[in-house]
Structure 1
Amino acid sequence: MIRTHIEPCSLNREEADALNRASGERYTQVMVFHWRTYRKKGHWLSQGGAEKWNDRLNADQPKLLHAHSVDAAQQGFSKAIKAECHESRESKRGSIINHAGPDS
């Protein structure tokens, strides 16, 4: 059973939106860099490589997010890729099993 807890938030709407925007920008930067590198160079970028590149890119930017929030935003793309690859493999595997013969 999944339980959901709602916690009160003392941030005003503008601050929460700014944090959400900063997190989304980090995620998008990692995603764009990963696919651009893969498309142009044929190299599958590692999670650590993407994080290091993104940290260097944003070194002189104002720090809105805590370091762990930055890491979570950067790692979110890698987790999404792994989940998508896993789902794709499972669906292919399932289709082979489901359509193996007349008895299925």
Structure 2
Amino acid sequence: MTSYIAKEIRIEQEYIQIFWEDGHRSPLPHRYVRLRCRCAQCVDEMTGKELLDPDSVEQDVVAIDYFTVGNYGAQFLWSDTHHTGIYTYNFLRSICVCIECKEKASSI
């Protein structure tokens, strides 16, 4: 399995832009990332069942800041005050919504 490394993360108005070491760029909409939080408040640790009600997350939620977690991920501080989710780089890459990644996913 490939391990992805983020070279740079930029929090922009519409997207969280992730620039990867392999040259790829992932423009991830803020709410899209927030809804995919895997922390214990958002996903049941035992069953994997999603606990986060998408309707409870404002349409205009944005990442305000982020912190790197070791060499493997990032933790975002959200405008709704949520901050406990750790997003591994491999996970962030797997949810990329760029045209290249969408085409790759649809061909599998």
TM-score range, shorter chain: under 0.3
State the TM-score, normalized to the length of structure 2: 0.22
Greater helix share, structure number: 1
Structure of higher CA gyration radius: 1
